[in-house]
Amino acid sequence: MNIDWINTAPKTVAYDYMTADEDVDTIEFFTERFEREFGVSDGDDIGGLIVYSDSCVYDYENFCGWVK
């Protein structure tokens, strides 16, 4: 998959300003939210990024994502 476009594309979503309940796994919480909002699942975790397709990527370390 070619996801080089995310280096110059604006983020589609940014959750970095939000907070989750202290009892919640923040990475899992916001990853699941991204998947629900954009109707994706079963992406490939390549270390810091989950690639769902050539046009949908989520950065779970920085809580943001790109969707073409």
Question: What gap in Å lies between CA 49 and CA 57, rounded to an integer?
Answer: 7
Residue spans of the domains in the chain: they are 4-67
pLDDT, tens digit (0-9, with 9 covering 90-100), for 6-47: 999 999 999 977 776 667 788 899 999 999 999 999 999 999
Question: What gap in Å lies between CA 7 and CA 23, rounded to an integer?
Answer: 33
The model's pTM is 0.87
Q: What is the mean pLDDT of residues 1-10?
A: 93
Q: How many other C-beta atoms are found inside a 10 Å radius of the C-beta of residue 64?
A: 18
- At 59, list the tokens: 């950065």
Q: Which pLDDT belongs to residue 24?
A: 76
Q: Which pLDDT belongs to residue 18?
A: 72
HSE-CB at 52 with a 13 A cutoff on CA atoms is 20
Q: Which pLDDT belongs to residue 53?
A: 93
Q: How many other C-beta atoms are found inside a 10 Å radius of the C-beta of residue 36?
A: 10
- At 62, list the tokens: 């920085």
